[in-house]
Amino acid sequence: MLPENKKLIKMLKYFTVAIIILTFSSCNVSFKNNSAGNAQMSLEEINKVYAEKKTLGLDVENSMVYSYFFKSENSAMLEKLARNFKSDLFESEINKINNNGYTLRIFKVDYLQPNTLLEQNSKMTAIALKSHVEFTGFDMQNVPKINYHNNDAFDEMDLEGSYEKNGKPAFVIANASFDTFSLKSVFNTLILIETKYKTDPVSGMPSDDAETDEIGEDISDELNDKDINCERVALELCNGNCTNFLITDNQIEAEKILKNFQKKAHQQYKYTLQNDSHWNWYQTLRSKVQKI
């Protein structure tokens, strides 16, 4: 076991994560069973849907939440279909339609234009036919903003672990709430913030005047202040190198802000951005930590 370090304990207090509503449908996004477009729409008709959505304030030029609807009297058939879509990173929900059976909605954040949505329509129609259910149509909405509010359950990182990295002892802390984080396909950009810190010559851990987590908190605050969703997931310390693991849903804008913030940050840092909608990096990190 690594020796207790008061600075690390203090560091746990800084981390606050947003409570994420588990499905897009509860994030002020209203989807009805009567979707915006039906399965038989032509390209011209889909173009009209995009034009109408744009007049309603939807950001049709960028990624949006695309939903596809299926109907069946047999809920088990819809459940099976929903499981099949998981490999394509679709979320799903099934609802009963009075006495007329059930409807399945699958949805994910995607970048589509009318021609590619037309292709999706054809694909969904073929899948429905093969699955013996009815594909009834599609809808799209803006990517919802996260509903932030404080909650004691997310105030501290509750995972820690120690291991060897490049022949040197490493220590990491993380937040277990991301085990069940439902918006991984949306927050698919990992931001790695790398800084240096002073080490204690005996323990190899940060010295009393070392700066470790502050820059990660500062960058997270800077991005959120600029309306770029960002959260810190973990922090790793190894041989004078500190790495903050942050996530965002807007890689392009986040990179612009990271570059500009380097000019005014109180601590020098390097950053890299990785796109990983499957969160493979998290699985690797998670295997190294356990509940405190």
Q: What is the pLDDT of residues 138-153, one digit of tens each?
A: 999 887 665 433 434 3
Helices 251-261 and 214-225 cross at an angle (nearest 10°) of 120
Is 234 in a helix, a strand, or coil? strand
Using DSSP bridges, classify how beta strands 241-248 and 230-238 pair: parallel, antiparallel or unpaired.
Answer: antiparallel
Give me the pLDDT at residue 145, please. 61
Q: Is the pLDDT of residue 286 over 60?
A: yes
Across the range 74-103, mean pLDDT stands at 89
pLDDT digits (tens, 9 = 90+) for 111-126: 899 999 999 999 999 9
pLDDT in tens, 224-277: 888 888 888 899 998 888 999 999 888 889 999 999 999 888 888 999 999 887
* Residue ranges of E strands in 9-116: 64-72, 91-96, 102-110
In order of their start, the domains of the chain are 6-19+147-291 (no CATH), 24-141 (3.30.70.970)
Contact 189, 273 (CB under 8 A): yes
Q: Got the DSSP string for 169-224?
A: EEEEEE-GGGGG-TTTTTS-EEEEEEEE--B-TTT-SBPTT---SHHHHHHHHHHH
- Range 160-182 average pLDDT: 85
Element spanning 10, H or E: helix 6-14
Q: Which among 125, 154, 149, 157 has a CA at the least distance from the CA of 41?
A: 125
Nearest to 50 by CA among 41, 199, 159: 41
pLDDT surpasses 90 at 31: no
Question: Residue 260's Cα: distance from chain center in Å?
Answer: 24
Q: What percent of the chain has pLDDT over 70?
A: 78
| Dihedral (CA of 150, 155, 158, 164) sign | positive
Contact 168, 239 (CB under 8 A): yes
Measured CA to CA, the distance from residue 133 to residue 153 in angstroms comes to 41
